[in-house]
Amino acid sequence: MTTLFIFPGQGSQYPGMGKDIYESYEAARRVYDRASDVLGFDIADLSFNNPNDELNLTRFTQPVLLTHHIACLEVFKSLGGDGRPGMTAGHSLGEYSALVAAGVLEFDTALRLVQKRGELMGAHGEGEMTAFPIDLETIRPIAEAYHCAVAGYNLPEQTVVGGRAEDLEKVETYVVEKFPRKPATRLKTEGAFHTYYMVTAAIYFRAMLDDAEFTPTEIGVLSNFSGGFHYRDADGMRARLFFQLFHPVRWFNNLETAFEAGVEKIIEFGGGIGAGDADAKRPNLQGMIKRATRATGRTPEYVAAINQATIEAATS
């Protein structure tokens, strides 16, 4: 069976994330302890308690999520789950977790990369993001008319746009007038990620990518930038991660590529959305997976491994 491991991006973090598996499994404690050593701060305290209300700051959100993704994966493996996927993918920040899961990046290397990535995105970016339940070709010219840009193509009928707050408001107003039954959702981000507003951050980040060690493996890793698989060489991977910062996340194209490659099972690791504690959280990407399967007629099995309860269910 060909299995795809997937990892969510920003927006799937929450205070208390990871505490359940940290308290129950040595495999998770090892991941969190290692992350704290690499990053130079107590990432378990930040993740579980959010003492200074910094969890949603991009420079902290990204390493927190990466750590949770890999902790969930390591617990899954410790309970007998198969840790050798046929392919991996991640949404935005999650692409770095996908590279770790495929053995392309060491965990330590990925932590340093996303810490710097988040720092640069927060320091040099600007703007905000809005999700529209409208297809790419319809919303793109509207967005561009107001100096905004497409930041993500999640589904045939879900496109994310980024730009300055006042420009996004004009796009939203236009959409309300022309498409009153298609309400927009403003997202909570520190900038217009994956648009031209991130070019400066990407230029500074390139040096980090150039210095990082990439070891391509036989496991295919999907690229948000291209919509297809990453090149099987280190320089090609670095280049696509550089471009990913200021180009749209082509998530639906990633899923189409995985379906065409014969994926039969999808396992989502880490993060969570919705109210309540860890046990009550829902997987971040599950809804998009369901709609993508309906749109394409594909029927892969979907499994969540985002907290203690779901990981234990996935490995029972």
Chain centroid to Cα 188, Å, comes to 15
CA–CA distances in Å: residue 291 to residues 112, 155, 159, 241, 295: 34, 8, 14, 26, 6
Q: Which residue in this structure is represented by tokens 């496991």?
A: 219
Of 92, 97, 223, 226, the active-site residue reads 92
Residue 9 token pair: 């991006």
* 194 annotated active-site: yes
b/e map 214-246, b = 16+ CB within 10 Å: bebeebbbbbbbbbbbbbeebeebbbbbbebbb
Nearest one of 236, 228, 232, 287 to 254, comparing CA atoms: 228
* 92 annotated active-site: yes
Residue 287 token pair: 């809804």
Of 68, 69, 194, 230, the active-site residue reads 194
The neighbour count for residue 46, using CB atoms within 10 Å, is 22
Residue 63, SS3 per DSSP:
helix
Residue 240 token pair: 């696509």
Query: What residues are annotated to the active site?
Result: 92, 194
